[in-house]
Amino acid sequence: MKKMKYKGIDLFCGIGGFRLAMEANNVQCVFSSDIDRFAQETYNANFNEIPKGDITKIDAESIPTFDILTAGFPCQPFSYAGLCQGFEDQTRGTLFFDICRIVSYHHPKMIFLENVKGLVSHKNGQTLNTILSNLKELGYYPYWTVLSSLDFGLPQKRERWYCVAFDKPIQYVFPKPLGGNPVLRDIVDVNDHSANLKLTKFEIDRIKFHFAHCSEQERVQHDNSKYAPNTKKGKYGVFSYQKPDGSLRFHVGDIAKTQIQEAFYACLDTYAPTIIAGRTPKLWDLERKLSVLEAKRLQGFPDDFIMPVSDNQAYKQLGNSVSVPIIKAIMKSMIAAYEQSK
């Protein structure tokens, strides 16, 4: 077996997307942490390790020495920059503070962070500036970008903020998009007709209603009499519209504009919307949602990745996870850049 060159820690580890990237890049994971007991169960089933719990209660000195810190940390509200004085005051009460606390004690060679795209504009950019300035105060040189999983082989438009930081000046460039046109047909088993995946009769009926009337009007108006008149659906109506890529969208609002997207149905020949904890992608042409196996593929997890939890928990865990291929690619480029700087 090839000797591990670097040691890493997996904070807010979830089910182990960063851990898979470590293993693919010859990095030995020496510590993991996540507060969710169901995520701990899945992590243990795949890596034979139960992650430690609440990171806010873990002393930095109890964590083994490591070279790379990874964290897909939750974005809790940050204090407005300038209203507080000092590094701790600006980040106290947020989980990012715990990352900084651990970095300050161990001072690893590299840091790899992931978060939602909205972090970039949160509080008019002040949150992002706080993160970057704190990394710089700790002696790091950060680089960040927003990348989509769709550009790295997955049929999912999942845009996320990625940040890598080094303990010395380094010339770093994020991986370039792979190209291609990944679609759901690449990962979906069209022969899976499991009853538990089937859309409700209400959903199927309104999808059929759309295609029965789409030749008459581009945005099909649906019967809103079933909704209470004081609700937005009852007041403004429900319309459906098929985009050029084949996806079918339902929205609340008048025919001239979309007010609120109420539902999104993909199809085999297009990509899925972002899978999140409370939303499993659905396909109008198969009249069903994705299976757990297909949801794993949508996030780039291997088929043999074990999900020892209920389907509802599995969907939630996959929705909260990182997209594995893009994490692998960034980690590979990060380590390569560090190696070249020696």
At 53, which CATH number? 3.40.50.150
Confidence of residue 179 (pLDDT cuts 50, 70, 90): confident
Predicted local confidence at residue 83, as pLDDT: 42
Q: Predicted confidence band at 19 (pLDDT cuts at 50, 70, 90)?
A: very high
Q: Is residue 28 part of a domain?
A: yes
Beta strands 27-33 and 6-11 are parallel
Beta bridge partners of 282: 289
Q: What is the pLDDT of residue 75?
A: 60
The count of structural domains within the chain is: 2
Name the DSSP letter for residue 202: H
User: Are 206 and 104 part of one and the same domain?
Assistant: no
Same domain (yes/no): 30, 162: yes
Point out the catalytic residue in the list 13, 29, 75, 100. 75
Confidence at residue 84, expressed as pLDDT on a 0 to 100 scale = 40
Domain contains 313: no
Q: Do 156 and 17 share a domain, yes or no? A: yes
The whole-number pLDDT of residue 187 equals 97
- Output the CA angle 100-136-338, nearest 5 degrees: 90
Same domain? 129 vs 196? no
Tell me the pLDDT tens digit for each residue of 139-174.
Answer: 999 999 999 999 999 999 999 999 999 999 999 999
Q: Strand order in 220-222's β-sheet? A: 220-222, 238-242, 248-252, 260-265
Q: Is residue 312 part of a domain?
A: no
72-85 average pLDDT score = 51
Encode pLDDT of 225-243 as tens digits. Answer: 877 888 888 888 889 999 9
Strands (E), the chain: 6-11, 27-33, 68-71, 110-116, 141-148, 159-166, 220-222, 238-242, 248-252, 260-265, 282-283, 288-289
Residues 323, 298 share a domain: no
Domain hosting 234: range is 184-305
Q: Is 267 a residue of the active site?
A: no
Q: Looking at this protein, which amino acid is placed at residue 184?
A: L
CB atoms closer than 10 angstroms to residue 53: 14
User: Domain check: are 166 and 188 in the same one?
Assistant: no
Question: Considering the domain boundaries, does residue 292 fall inside one?
Answer: yes
Within-domain flag for 310: no
User: Same structural domain for residues 188 and 174?
Assistant: no
Q: Does 1 fall in a domain?
A: no
**Same domain, yes or no, for 15 and 160?**
yes
Q: What is the DSSP letter of 48?
A: S
